[in-house]
Amino acid sequence: MLQVYLVRHGETQWNAQRRIQGQSDSPLTEVGERQAWQVAERVRNYGITHVITSDLGRTRRTAEIIARACGCEVIADARLRELNMGVLEQRNLDTLTQEEEQWRRQLVNGNPEGRIPQGESMLEVSLRMHAALDACRALPAGSKPLLVSHGMALGCLVSTILGLPAWAERRLRLRNCSISRVDFQQSAWLANGWIVETAGDVSHLDAPALDELQR
């Protein structure tokens, strides 16, 4: 059985400011740095063999902290990037027009046609996230990888493993530096392939984690 840990990056300046990041970037806050260290302490003795991260700065910094504790190198994979939020990237949520907010809401309310102008659809995100996850199956036997990615991207990945369409209503909350785990296995009582063991665990954090869309 292959176990893969999924970690969302630590809190960023734009998370705290309620700004839309997408594939734009902002650095971790002091809280975000501490969250990353708390993940590192949590997984230090899990036997992690590979730390694979989105190539954006906020995930790379989170991954560097975790990899240092686990004695691993950081491997970048652009397929783990956040959803491209198109023309709304870098905007504050409170400044969106009614039309712009409708574009954003279509990404979370189950609209199969949801897409921000110049951005990605949830189906496109799902395809590249699954490709990155499936690549873990080619790692040497006994590997235990940890992937560092983003809230929308990871939520889409976990939801689709559960059998939901990529554009399904967003009902899975993955806060900053939450830990999830998915396993590739064959079971008499579960469907063969990827299954969800845990999702959104924040018990290792010493303070409530922010979520840019849930305050």
| Binding-site residue positions | 8-15, 21-22, 58, 60, 82-85, 104-105, 151-152
Tokens found for residue 59: 């995930």
**CB neighbour list of residue 20: distance below 8 Å, 6 or more residues apart:** 14, 85, 88, 89, 90, 91, 92, 93, 104, 212
CA distances from 190 to 16, 57, 61, 196 (A): 39, 37, 36, 10
What residues form DSSP beta bridges with 183? 3, 195
Instruction: Extract the annotated binding site for substrate.
Output: 8-15, 21-22, 58, 60, 82-85, 104-105, 151-152
Catalytic position from the list 9, 50, 89, 212: 9
41 contacts 136 by C-beta, under 8 angstroms: no
CA 184 – CA 162 distance, rounded (Å): 13
Catalytic position from the list 33, 50, 64, 82: 82
Q: Is 9 a catalytic residue?
A: yes
Q: State the DSSP code for 62.
A: H
Tokens found for residue 159: 């939801």
What is the CA 33 to chain-centroid distance, rounded?
Answer: 17
Residues designated as active site = 9, 82
